Structure 1
């Protein structure tokens, strides 16, 4: 029987150092590590074409690289690439000098000139959610989509969290527990929980049968006869249920498709429905819960807890959006 090398205690300082590097490699999320590796390769290719050293690189070479891509790449992408180059140097034991006033001022100028606020998708407010849900057919796919949208909204889940949910408990996975008072979403590692401390999110019964997340989830589980494995799965055009989990991109498509159906019902043209649907995405469920709750005067700390934000500053943006017409001075000016 083979032995897992990671379970064998190191026997020397050198072995401990190797193990430390292995753990250091796991300090960031898998997607981040993949993006950083791609960014480092892109910088190396650019340097090779110009006869420059990529590792170690000079501050001047790094600045030239940023300037060369300032007009074609988003500032957020350039920021990530700079972070990747810095991390690559640190891992190799090199010091990358980007502390000079010239580098700092030029980089600040790039961000000021080319930076722009990220395009935010619209929150799916409760009133729009109700209209969208009403368009879903009483098919297996419609039952799944209803449960997926309502669970994602009520639990304020990120699309990757929603796609990764399991029906029953499994080590290392996020799962859904059914309780008399509703559902409890057990989350493991997430965007703001890289240390895997986990979180529990409560989903209570809704006041309306057609938009109750708990009843919709149970209806889906019963219809699909699920007892274990992924909670939300692909369904082919013949109505056959898959065994793997849906992807996070599928979550976004389900949201947009349902919004598009509601827009068609409202009499919009096909072109208008596509434009309306494109304004929403998977994150619209999470932001929609926060904004709708704020509009109905839910306490800020309760919204923060449901969204699992570390800082209230992040939550307050949703609250401001939801309460933009609450006690608005323009509405009290007697116009």
Structure 2
């Protein structure tokens, strides 16, 4: 039996969860295992809530489900791991670990099955690395923002908020290795979407456990937190030693570090990744 105060707190957590699900194109009730784990990743990796707060959110979500919460055991494992990390860090969130070019190639190689999820994730990895765009911008990329040619892919990078102009174009050159080629992945992913009648709207779509791309209204958008989870899963599949520290920000910062090493031009870097000139990227 919960107290009135606990009920009010749980109601707040359920509202926050429902708002996040709406922004990510997910269902809050009933909550799937994938949705729960993606939200846990959001609370831990992005909001960096304390383990106690994360546990409270989990309890609130559980109270709003008609049946036993799917993925609860996995969520509790994530919570225990976060508690250990939190204690080790002294209550401080660590910086994202920059990914190397070799890391990215290893992650893209896990997309060689060329199933729908492989094509989507390969496109995401190569666009994230090649554009060094912010997570919010990547989540906002639409089909119309891509131009595919034999020499490469041009991406018009959306602003991170509505009403702002594009951040400019990025060009991803063709790779002779098909398994790493942005032209191949983007073309194949767009072709798959077109076969399903999708020719506009968000580039990155949800895919169910049967490998079907979800195109129904309200269920197609993958937000930045879901994209982060996809990257981390690919890092895990690639066998990267520090896969738990790899996410979209890792691709962004890793891409930047690689370009600084090659050009030693921090001004060009700031323009490429849309960082402020005095950004903390120099700390990497």
Q: TM class by shorter-chain length? A: 0.5 to 0.7
The answer to whether 1:305 aligns with 2:271 is: yes
Partners in 1 of 2:109 and 2:163 — Cα distance?
A: 40
Partners in 2 of 1:144 and 1:189 — Cα distance?
A: 21
The counterpart of 1:145, out of the listed 116, 121, 124, is: 121
> In the alignment, which residue of structure 1 is the partner of 2:102?
127
The counterpart of 1:196, out of the listed 142, 164, 175, is: 164
> In the alignment, which residue of structure 2 is the partner of 1:279?
245
Query: SS where residue 169 of structure 2 aligns?
Result: strand
> In the alignment, which residue of structure 1 is the partner of 2:187?
218
**Deviation string, structure 1 residues 66-118 (Cα, Å, up to 9, x no partner):** xxxxxxx89xxxxxxxxxxxxxxxxxxxxxxxxxxxxxxxxxxxxxxxx9875
How far 1:181 moved relative to its partner? 4.8
> In the alignment, which residue of structure 2 is the partner of 1:185?
155
Partners in 1 of 2:176 and 2:265 — Cα distance?
A: 22
Gaps of 5+ in 2: 1-18, 20-48, 51-89
Give TM-score scaled by structure 1 length. 0.50
> In the alignment, which residue of structure 2 is the partner of 1:167?
143
> In the alignment, which residue of structure 2 is the partner of 1:290?
256
Aligned ranges for residues 217-236 of structure 1 at < 5 Å? 217-225=186-194, 226-236=198-208
**Deviation string, structure 1 residues 273-298 (Cα, Å, up to 9, x no partner):** 6xx22111221111111012222235
Task: Classify 1:255/1:316 alpha carbon distance in 2 versus 1 (closer, same or farther; 3 Å).
Answer: closer
8 Å CA contact 1:303, 1:315 repeated in 2 = no
> In the alignment, which residue of structure 2 is the partner of 1:24?
none
How far 1:242 moved relative to its partner? 1.3
Give the total of aligned pairs.
190
> In the alignment, which residue of structure 2 is the partner of 1:205?
173
Computing the radius of gyration over CA atoms, which structure comes out larger, 1 or 2?
1
Task: Classify 1:117/1:195 alpha carbon distance in 2 versus 1 (closer, same or farther; 3 Å).
Answer: farther
Let me know the Cα RMSD of the aligned residues. Answer: 2.9
Gaps of 5+ in 1: 1-33, 35-72, 75-114, 169-174, 267-272, 322-335
> In the alignment, which residue of structure 2 is the partner of 1:240?
212
Query: SS where residue 160 of structure 2 aligns?
Result: coil
8 Å CA contact 2:135, 2:248 repeated in 1 = yes
Determine which structure has greater relative contact order: mean sequence separation of CA pairs < 8 Å that are 6+ residues apart, divided by chain length. 2
How far 1:238 moved relative to its partner? 0.9
How far 1:201 moved relative to its partner? 2.4
Query: SS where residue 234 of structure 1 aligns?
Result: coil
How far 1:142 moved relative to its partner? 0.7
Following TM superposition, the consecutive aligned residue runs of length 4 or more in structure 1 with deviations greater than 4 angstroms are 115-118
Partners in 1 of 2:114 and 2:150 — Cα distance?
A: 26
How far 1:234 moved relative to its partner? 0.6
How far 1:212 moved relative to its partner? 2.5
Aligned ranges for residues 1-335 of structure 1 at < 5 Å? 118-136=93-111, 137-168=113-144, 175-178=145-148, 181-190=151-160, 196-209=164-177, 210-225=179-194, 226-243=198-215, 244-263=220-239, 276-297=242-263, 299-309=265-275, 311-314=276-279, 317=282, 321=284
8 Å CA contact 2:157, 2:170 repeated in 1 = no
Task: Classify 1:188/1:127 alpha carbon distance in 2 versus 1 (closer, same or farther; 3 Å).
Answer: closer
Task: Classify 1:284/1:261 alpha carbon distance in 2 versus 1 (closer, same or farther; 3 Å).
Answer: same
Task: Classify 1:181/1:135 alpha carbon distance in 2 versus 1 (closer, same or farther; 3 Å).
Answer: closer
8 Å CA contact 1:163, 1:251 repeated in 2 = yes
How far 1:152 moved relative to its partner? 1.1
Query: SS where residue 184 of structure 1 aligns?
Result: strand
